[in-house]
Chains A and B, each alone.
Chain A
């Protein structure tokens, strides 16, 4: 009997851990796009919800009837390395126009349950025309239509709109294309994760650029942590309970979302919390429940997801030349280096791997390769680039060439 119970507990633990990591990489799961994962999350929603609520203070909403699960990741984004991406082969990041159109489209879709792509484009034109700040949408230009289609395809992928008839892509070639959409207003609402709506802040458009950092903080402000979350040092209004809650959540939010958390980047309170016995215990607990391996070092901590479920990309990996180059550049760096030095190394790499030259040929090739490789390293918190100087961060040592290659022999 106890064995059976054990087996079931093991099964549950594995499923819960898988669900947690899956939600970390895909905060919005619809039944249509991933039926198996959705079913798992639906069945295990209680423990998963508790995990996110306790460690991160993030809300998990599972709607079995409406067929979606949404993890509301509230967090001020510190880095720009995780943009929305175009759902095309290049997976290029969204540009300004696409982000703008995304918001306008989402606003206009809110009031129509069913629409066609042509009618929607008209609405967008009228809406943007009425807005003083936003540039008017021009459906006669191909690039605009392309951007519009990219936006709709992204919304489709989230399940916020559903194509009933036709193919969105055809709109790129002709504004006469017939595509019928059904809108899911609930999911559309769920797209926004920030607890404070931008319209509530009522900031004049000309101030937005100046007060950008402040605005990011403002939209992420959660009441439960006291009057001004994220600025606890100077808020006398917050109670100890709220302060502790905020410490736990802010530390864990970094930990589950970012590749590496360096102690140097944390505030004194957060460092103290992480190094306290309670902090360490919770850290191990959270990692175990989430199916992560925990790596604790003198300089910081990181969570390892051996199955690569909870990550959008992997390093080291051979899927892109830039990633291989990144690893090899890292090998050459024993200390800070200038970008120019690295470009020199990159040129040597291009000599060594002649086939790479296909994607990095031309005058700017080496520069581009070095830049791409550095972006990979920055994304994984392994180097930091300031004013042309690249500094390797402590965790970079994880991927150093080992002196004794004990792992080289393969076991039969």
Chain B
């Protein structure tokens, strides 16, 4: 894209102390142009000024000098009008000069109007625009088959209009969104509402985004089967361009259309394999939702306390300054902040349940303190081993049972071992008990948060079986059949594997 070069002086009229007058004058010309009056005399300008709301006193000299200034900036042209009948010399002087906007003047005023409208308007992401684009594309397909060139032209124009609206809206909305994300210090109550409604709005927009973009991309494909060149040629015929100047406007017009079509492709179906822009929209919206929710959380949080939090900390600083005793400092800290640790004994009787709750501490034997600690001031690290010994001695039976259960469970896990990434649908048929276990593993994995790339990873509590889940890229549905019915769910890419070598071998035996 070429850099934008604005002619010098073009927007000079918007600054300086007489800017208001200049803008008003240009506004007057603009209004007149809409009524197809292009040349205005001094009195006409004055009359128009009043009608657009310029009420200040303004003598002829001022107005004339303003117009003169605009002329030197190349915004206004002066012509002499000889067609009328003038009765007096003064009348001639007053009325023979006719002012009209130059091309630059028109552009400059349009620019100002556009700037003002941008300032006043708010952007929006509209599913309606997406729908309109999709509909027009559909129409185009039909018109290409059966319709006239004129219809092709008008539909294409509409399509471009909607695309323009989409671009404009998105640009503005994104700008607003980023401003919203930045402006943290604003008035909290309205802010809260604005953000909450923005989140709701974005969520609504996102829900329908994908099917729509998909439809649009398909239709673009269809039109390209017909040939985009043909489409543009027919539109050119339908446009019936007037040849006002010496050069043929056709090639430029076609180039313009091609650029627009490229734009459409870039949005929905880029040729160079890059991600469609509409997906970025998706990303931006999703990120914005997350950020907004975080900000909201923080606002609610600070609403609850912040007004007083600063004051609380300051007051607390004073309290800490005047509290007399060292002990009280620590107590104040523990009470106010609640960040201190609990404190507990770690030595227990081998079997606490053997001792009656009514017994006194003095009556029962003491806990086992390492004798080494008393004699040498060093403890052997007995806590761990001591505990295992206790469990073995007292809860042997229970442990044995757990072991048996474990073995059964492991056998099941072995059978589920996938030996690599497969799709969930690859299980096809499963024994019901096995299926239940699979379901439990899935549940385990789904309970964890997705990592980078959406992969969920989980291990069983003992860390020996690991399960990896990746969401299906194509959104396929898996159907598993068990003796008791069918299970349907997203066709995850699933990997169940055992951590140890020994288990690898076992699974090899099974298969």
Q: Enumerate chain A interface residues (CB-CB to B < 8 A).
A: 1, 3-8, 10-11, 14-15, 24-28, 39, 42-43, 63-66, 71-84, 93-96, 99-101, 103-104, 106-107, 110-111, 113, 127, 131, 133-135, 158, 185-186, 188-189, 191-194, 197-200, 205-206, 208-209, 212, 215-216, 219-220, 256-260, 280, 292-299, 302-308, 310-318, 321, 324, 327-328, 331, 353, 356, 379-380, 394-402, 404-405, 407-408, 411
Contacts and interface: CB of A to CB of B under 8 A. Distances in A.
Contacts of A5: 440
B327 interface: yes
Contact of B366 (A185, A380, A399): A399
Interface in B364-386: 364-371, 373-374, 377-379, 383
Nearest to A2: B405
Q: A-B pairs with the 4 shortest C-beta distances?
A: A193-B338, A11-B461, A107-B313, A77-B334
B71 to A, nearest CB: 52
Interface in B330-385: 330-349, 352, 355, 357-362, 364-371, 373-374, 377-379, 383
A305 B316 contact: no
Contacts of B402: 10
B387 interface: yes
Contact of B311 (A81, A197, A353, A408): A197
Nearest to A6: B405
A62 to B, nearest CB: 12
Nearest to A154: B339
Contact of B329 (A96, A258, A306): A96
A107 B338 contact: no
Contact of A27 (B320, B339, B405, B412): B339
A189 B306 contact: yes
A26 B312 contact: no
Given A107-B317, A311-B342, A311-B344, 9 more contacts: A8-B444, A76-B335, A215-B319, A216-B335, A310-B344, A317-B379, A321-B377, A398-B367, A399-B367
Contact of A327 (B332, B338, B374): B374
B343 A99 contact: no
Contacts of B383: 306, 308
Contacts of A39: 448-449
B369 A316 contact: yes
Given A43-B448, A258-B343, A394 B371 contact: no
A216 B361 CA distance: 33
B317 A295 contact: no
Nearest to A411: B389
Contacts of B309: 107, 110, 188-189, 192, 197
A198 to B, nearest CB: 4
B38 interface: no
Contact of A103 (B317, B324, B331): B317
11 contacts: A14-B461, A65-B297, A78-B331, A82-B343, A198-B315, A297-B355, A310-B341, A316-B373, A394-B361, A398-B366, A402-B365
B315 A216 contact: no
B329 A83 contact: yes
> What secondary structure prevails in chain B residues at the interface with A?
helix
Interface residues on B, range: 35 or more
Contacts of A404: 365
A24 B333 contact: no
A379 B317 contact: no
B340 A312 contact: yes
A192 B316 CA distance: 10
A96 B328 CA distance: 10
Contacts of A303: 344-345
B379 A318 contact: yes
A75 B332 CA distance: 11
B293 interface: yes
Contacts of A397: 360-362, 366
- Of the listed residues B309, B337, B352, B405, the one surrounded by the most CB atoms of chain A closer than 10 A to its CB is B337
B118 interface: no
Contacts of A407: 368
Given A4-B440, A394-B361, A197 B329 contact: no
B338 A73 contact: yes
Contacts of A293: 348, 352
A212 B323 contact: yes
Contacts of A63: 297
A388 to B, nearest CB: 17
B23 to A, nearest CB: 40
A198 B334 CA distance: 14
- Of the listed residues B312, B323, B360, B461, the one surrounded by the most CB atoms of chain A closer than 10 A to its CB is B312
Contact of B342 (A24, A76, A158): A24
B339 A28 contact: yes
A99 B373 contact: no
A336 B365 CA distance: 21
Contacts of B327: 80
